[in-house]
Structure 1
Amino acid sequence: MTYSMTAFARRETEIEAGTLSVEVRSVNHRYLEPSFRLPDTLKPVEMSLRERLKKQVKRGKVDVQMRFYLAQTEAGLDVNLDRLQALGGALDKVRQTILDSAAPNALDLLQWPGVLAEANVDMDQVFAESKSLFDTALKDFLAHRQREGEELAAALRERLDGIETIVAEVRKEVPEWVETFRDNLRAKAQQLSVDLEPERLEQEVVLLAQKADVAEELDRLDTHCQEVRHILKAKGAVGRRLDFLMQEFTREANTLGSKATNSRVTQASVDLKVLIEQMREQVQNIE
């Protein structure tokens, strides 16, 4: 199964204590690089979420953002009178010492830590719900990566078909090259008024045929195509293996071009390089 390294998922749920939301997104990266942004109240679950992610994802720069909005209950808006009186006494001392100090307004006083009574929140439940929500979002995230991965695999197979077609066409023309070499040598000999002996002619034809022999390159291109198809059916992260094969494809296409003895082979080498480069760009997105 082929997975893409780019994906996005978002989930939100209402719980007794408030609202939890999580976003998971990723882009290409050579290794797995997770980044978590959680509020302080959810920091205790970060390690567990990281472990969950590492079990499912092998490559990519993955950003996870989780938010927790506390429900506004009546208990959450109660004023802690003891705390407020203590704060007022402290402010009186400040004004006695610094006569021109400005008095805070009511909103400033409510924002002082401990003045508003905190709601009684069961954090164990919040932690459990946050893990469950992350698991759901991670499932959506992986499904997105799988859908895109299948599209990438289809694009690769289409290019492989093109490469195999070019290889088959060149292979079909190879037997004709020997006769072409022989005809060209005879024509040149006639132009130069040279009496070319049959044995010498055949020796020259053999030398030219050896220099232009591309059977090995064609065989390796076919083998690489078969290996890519095999890898696309394999489980786990396959992007690096595919990236290596793209280098091998390029090497064979270059060698084929360097041995070209006619415009058809030169054009075949160029067409191969175009298809290989298109595959290489797609492979960069595969996990």
Structure 2
Amino acid sequence: MAVYSMTGYGCATAGAAANSENPSFSGVGVTVELRSVNSRFLDLAFRLPDDLRGLEPALRELIGGGFRRGKIELRLAGQREADNHWPQPSPEQLMRLAQLEGTVQTWLPKAPPLSVHEALNWCRGASAAEKLDEPALEAARQAIVALREARAREGERLVGVLMERIGRLRELAAQAKPLLPAVVQRQQQRFLDRWNEALQMAGAGQAVSEESQRDRALNEAAAFAIRIDVAEELSRLGAHLDEIERLLKAGGEIGKRLDFLIQELHREANTLGSKSAALELTGISVEMKVAIEQMREQVQNLE
């Protein structure tokens, strides 16, 4: 299953070509544009002409069936191939127009009669208004398909970026593991050196034997080693990376789950930094946080 980004653009036009055989409708079409950016939920905004406001519920249902998350803006506009493409008025239209003109002149005797240009404009507008609903919905369906394809392409690119960051975090974890024994050994030797210095300063009148003091120093070093041990954090970090990689390969609506796992990665990297007793581990922790932050920015764009 594909992984979809919430960022994309889709556009489609319907109506003009499909109705080219109908002289009263030829040259009239509908263009639908869909723009999508990231959002925690599905947030829809519509920019519709006044005569097509009634299509909003149907358009909302179409978009809701194709997407689960993202801020999506739909723009719909009617278009004509040329302003000089005039319709062929039907007798029914002309009869209706004549009745309306007669009614107006009955109440407004000074009203001027309709010109041919005004009559043709009225017929063209009436024909388009009657026949734009279905082309608008068809254009919306095509635009939704185009937007899904664009979001899939962007999602594929984001998966590549995330897999690269996962590889980088695994490298950093692998660099940290060999450093732990050396750090513990250095700290143990440091404790012993300090105890030896303390014994020399105290002189021979010490009531506690040198061997006992050495054992105490070793115990302190062991306790410190437990406090700075980050093996558990590295193990959990590796498990989170495995789960992220599994979700990316499985695909689907994984954005919210990945967002939670990124927070867990941040937690482990912060703990690693707080326990760090060596400059090398501190540097690794900082690099991990940078890579995780880069992943978080990308994950926020996934559906």
Q: Normalising by structure 1, what TM-score? A: 0.83
1:87 to 104, 109, 128: 104
- The one-letter amino acid of 1:84's match is E
> Conserved in 1, the CA contact under 8 Å of 2:87 and 2:123?
no
Instruction: Tell me which moved more, 217-226 or 78-87.
Output: 78-87
- The residue aligned with 1:74 is 88
Alignment of 1:267-278 (within 5 A): 267-278=283-294
State the superposition RMSD in angstroms: 3.1
- The residue aligned with 2:207 is none
Answer yes or no: is 1:130 the counterpart of 2:136: yes
> Conserved in 2, the CA contact under 8 Å of 1:81 and 1:115?
no
- The residue aligned with 2:253 is 237
Which string of whole-angstrom CA distances, capped at 9 and with x for unpartnered residues, describes residues 43-66 of structure 1? 454433322221220001111122
Alignment of 1:60-209 (within 5 A): 60-69=70-79, 72-75=86-89, 80-92=97-109, 110=118, 116-117=122-123, 121=127, 126-194=132-200, 195=210, 197-209=213-225
CA distance in 1, matches of 2:118, 2:290: 67
CA distance in 1, matches of 2:246, 2:141: 31
- The one-letter amino acid of 1:208's match is F
Alignment of 1:242-257 (within 5 A): 242-257=258-273
- The residue aligned with 1:29 is 39
Instruction: Tell me which moved more, 178-187 or 18-27.
Output: 178-187
1:143 to 1:193, Cα distance in 2 relative to 1, 3 A: same
Alignment of 1:252-267 (within 5 A): 252-267=268-283
| Structure 1 SS opposite 2:68 | coil
- The residue aligned with 1:5 is 6
Instruction: Tell me which moved more, 4-13 or 172-181.
Output: 172-181
| Structure 2 SS opposite 1:8 | strand
1:281 to 1:120, Cα distance in 2 relative to 1, 3 A: closer
CA distance in 2, matches of 1:115, 1:65: 25
Which string of whole-angstrom CA distances, capped at 9 and with x for unpartnered residues, describes residues 119-146 of structure 1? 7749886444333322221111001001
CA distance in 2, matches of 1:10, 1:124: 23
Structure 1 residue 83: Cα displacement: 3.0
CA distance in 2, matches of 1:144, 1:30: 19
1:204 to 1:170, Cα distance in 2 relative to 1, 3 A: same
Q: Any unmatched runs of 5+ in structure 1?
A: 94-102
1:106 to 1:121, Cα distance in 2 relative to 1, 3 A: closer
Which string of whole-angstrom CA distances, capped at 9 and with x for unpartnered residues, describes residues 150-206 of structure 1? 111111111111111111111121122232122212332344454564422321221
Matched residues, percent identical? 33
1:110 to 1:259, Cα distance in 2 relative to 1, 3 A: same
CA distance in 2, matches of 1:137, 1:253: 42
Instruction: Tell me which moved more, 153-162 or 130-139.
Output: 130-139
Structure 1 residue 78: Cα displacement: 6.1
- The one-letter amino acid of 2:36's match is S
> Conserved in 1, the CA contact under 8 Å of 2:87 and 2:124?
no
CA distance in 1, matches of 2:132, 2:139: 10
| Structure 2 SS opposite 1:92 | coil
> Conserved in 2, the CA contact under 8 Å of 1:78 and 1:116?
no
> Conserved in 2, the CA contact under 8 Å of 1:36 and 1:65?
yes
